[in-house]
Amino acid sequence: QKEVEQDPGPLSVPEGAIVSLNCTYSNSAFQYFMWYRQYSRKGPELLMYTYSSGNKEDGRFTAQVDKSSKYISLFIRDSQPSDSATYLCAMSLYQGAQKLVFGQGTRLTINP
């Protein structure tokens, strides 16, 4: 079993829809949770960074962590075609960026 499971998709939704992206994990010691966005032929860029359980909002993006269920989510409101990308979840035991464990990534397409 992988430490971090993420449905690779592809996921296709109409413009304006609310998108829900999810990851599950097996190691209950993970404390730091991240979401990265990766456009084609580009490196991943950090979208959200959260610590422990709870919600964090940044514009149209909300990251949610449920440590009791070992489940994290990223919600995108009012989705735009420019949101079309691969979204990677990542998590770590440590505060630093070392030893990140990544999910496989979910390929998302927003259709105009």
Partner 1 sequence: SAVISQKPSRDICQRGTSLTIQCQVDSQVTMMFWYRQQPGQSLTLIATANQGSEATYESGFVIDKFPISRPNLTFSTLTVSNMSPEDSSIYLCSVTQGGNEKLFFGSGTQLSVL
Q: Which residues would be at the binding site for partner 1 (CB under 8 A)?
A: 2, 4, 8, 32, 34, 36, 41-46, 49, 88, 90, 95-105
Question: CB-wise, 68 or 98, nearer to partner 1?
Answer: 98
Smallest gap from Cβ 112 to partner 1, in A, equals: 26
18-49: buried (b, 16+ CB within 10 Å) or exposed (e) per residue?
ebebbbbbeeeebbbbbbbbeeeeeebeebbe
Q: Which is nearer to partner 1, 34 or 79 (CB)?
A: 34
Instruction: Tell me how far, at minimum, the Cβ of 33 lies from partner 1, in Å.
Output: 12
Task: Please tell me the distance from the alpha carbon of residue 90 to that of residue 71, in angstroms, as a whole number.
Answer: 12
